[in-house]
Homo-oligomer: A and B are copies of this chain.
Amino acid sequence: MNDIVKNIINKISPISDKSFLEIERLLEFETYAKGETFISKNKRNNNEYFVLNGICKSYLINPEGEEITISFFVENSILSPHSTRVSNNKSSYYFKALTELEVASINAVAFEKLMIDNLEIRNFGNAVLFKELQSKVEKEIGLASFTAKERLIAFRQKYKGLENLVPHTDIASYLGITNISLSRLRKDLLE
């Protein structure tokens, strides 16, 4: 389990074993059932999360009461950094497990303290933040200036194989189209 976390971190920004020990001491492991909303908007949340196994999504509810997918998180990935999804200790998004989900979590305040004290961990934390912000701007550019087909192609590159693992309605929502349009595009792209 800890090896997975170590690999996740090293793939983003390599850190020494000594630094990893600082993180490891603080890790906790959690499992969520498929369909479980494990972080709710406007509720307290004080952790950072590493996805060890399974898939989840972040989402919001639009004025019509529908779920709008913001992002997917697959195994060996890290949930959006605490600072980007929590304000006044209240979460700005919902997170739901789309399969059974295993995560390693670390208290966000403790992790921030590690970042202050340890350069490697700070570099890692900054790399995660940067990656999240880049991901957000890519999505915004895609929604603003690419066709839905182009966005589906980009989605498939970013999340290989995810299409067979999560509901298409969630994918359509992430792409900003209806599930009927997604079905059409999938058919188009078979040729």
Chain B residues near A29 (CB-CB < 8 A) = none
A8 to chain B, nearest CB (A): 20
Known: A83-B129, A134-B92, A140-B139. A145 touches B70 (CB 8 A): no
A145 to chain B, nearest CB (A): 5
A174 to chain B, nearest CB (A): 8
Known: A136-B136, A137-B92. A176 touches B143 (CB 8 A): yes
Residue in B87, B141, B173 whose beta carbon sits within 8 Å of that of A130 in the complex: B87
Residue A19 lies at the interface, judged by CB distance under 8 Å to chain B? no
Please give the count of copies of this chain that the complex contains: 2
Q: Are B68 and A133 interface neighbours, CB within 8 A?
A: no
Cβ-closest chain B residue relative to A69: B144
Q: Are B136 and A62 interface neighbours, CB within 8 A?
A: no
Q: Are A137 and B83 interface neighbours, CB within 8 A?
A: no
Chain B residues near A133 (CB-CB < 8 A) = 84, 87, 92
Q: Are B141 and A140 interface neighbours, CB within 8 A?
A: no
Residue A4 lies at the interface, judged by CB distance under 8 Å to chain B? no
CB contacts under 8 Å to B, within A92-148, are 92, 126, 129-130, 133-134, 136-137, 139-141, 143-145
